[in-house]
Structure 1
Amino acid sequence: MAAAQRSFRTLAPEVSRGAGTSRRATTTGQIKEFILVEGLCPGDPLPTEAELCERLGVSRSSVREAVRTLSTLGIVDVRHGHGTYVGAMSLDALVEMLVFRGVLSAGDDLRALRDVVEIRQVLDHGMAIRIVASLTGTFNPDLHALVDEMVAVAAEGRTFPEQDRAFHTGLLARLDNALVGQLVSAFWEVHTVVVPTLGLSVAADMDQTARAHGLMLDAAEAGDVRAFHAAVTAHYDPLDRALGATRS
């Protein structure tokens, strides 16, 4: 512990007393540096406020401001009555910001939503080889059941957000990459939250979208990367058309 503290102290920058905003930003950086140097993991406790003040050489107000900032970002988790812990560092803050940006852009030709949909497509296409490799030669009854549910729901003229999320999460669950799964889930959530608020309807093409999920799964299990790419494109075609119609 002593060695880690010495390393931390050499990394902590000096801050002039007159720069309040800079001091708070620096304290935020120092706390993040402390977490890294000490090798702390999500769920590990941080020192008390008084201990952080002593170790960082800053005031209580600077520590409190920094902790509030880091809590908003999910880097730390403040448990009232228990202390402050290293957070799970989810993408919740990113999702909230993108949802608000998407709704705010309603009068801006839906540009933010187009950006989100484009990123979703990039992620699906970009992970195609990995997804296909992980599913080739397998049969996945859970994913096939979700496809059947989507097709049935679409036949009733309804959307299927829960099944859609479970399907995409299930495809990525076979990969050893937690971050890409979080990113896909984050952009999926922005997508599904923003679309209803903008009155954008793609219900007429729900059947194509539902069946495209089945084509994606069949292609992956068959080891056909090209067919998987084609199915991803078919999956997003209805939404691309709906978004394109708003340009005119």
Structure 2
Amino acid sequence: MAGAFALRLVPRLAAAPPGRGKGVGGGSTHAAGSRALVPKKPKKEHHLWIRKETAGSGKKALRLIDAVSKLPNEREAIYGALDKWSAFEPEFPIISAAKALVMLKRQRKWLRIIQVTKWLMSKGQVLTWTTYDTLLLALFMDGRVDEAESIWNTVIETHTRSVPKRLFSRMILMYDIRQRPDKILEVFADMEELGVRPDEDTARWIGSAFVAFGQEEKEKYVLEKYLKKWKYIHFNGERVRVRRDGPLA
């Protein structure tokens, strides 16, 4: 009985599943019960020429400010110091230059912002919308409105449909402070043509420009079109949302 049972098991134990465990010459490639081999993931490649300049960028920005803060307002002196500041960098220190502009803006050093930004533009570097916005603000604060207008015209002619809303708002605010409603309406005409929607403050400045020319109906049209239908007010000690044309507005 035991012999017959053993004979029935022998074929099952001896038979190997087809296509499995076959090595060279038909032998088993791994021991019974061992885990299947899992292929390793390929190592991630690291390229030395792709580098984010973050470490020490704040100190480099401070060195830039120190390099130009004590110099006379002469282009040769400023540009020479900035050239030395970036001379030994393996890559142009873009992040450091951008941080330096932010620091100069906080310090309200408008002339230095103009000088540094124009040097960057001469190098073809940091040509971002933030840079343009900072430059327009600095030119306005330094009383160089004509120069700001010249740069604005270059920007709008070169980039056209990619100019962000904040640059339009910057120019409209500048013209509103300078009491130039004609220029405000010129910028607004470009916004309408390009489909740029002004924010609420900008819409009010545009409306005031229409009022200056006695066109109150156009002011009403602009405010109805661009002011939000809802606003928040404080009522009974709470901040509540009400309709702008409602009884609580």
Of structures 1 and 2, the larger Rg is shown by 2
Q: TM-score, normalised by structure 2?
A: 0.28
Structure with greater helix percent: 1
Higher RCO (CA-CA < 8 Å; seq separation 6+): 1
TM-score by length of 1: 0.28
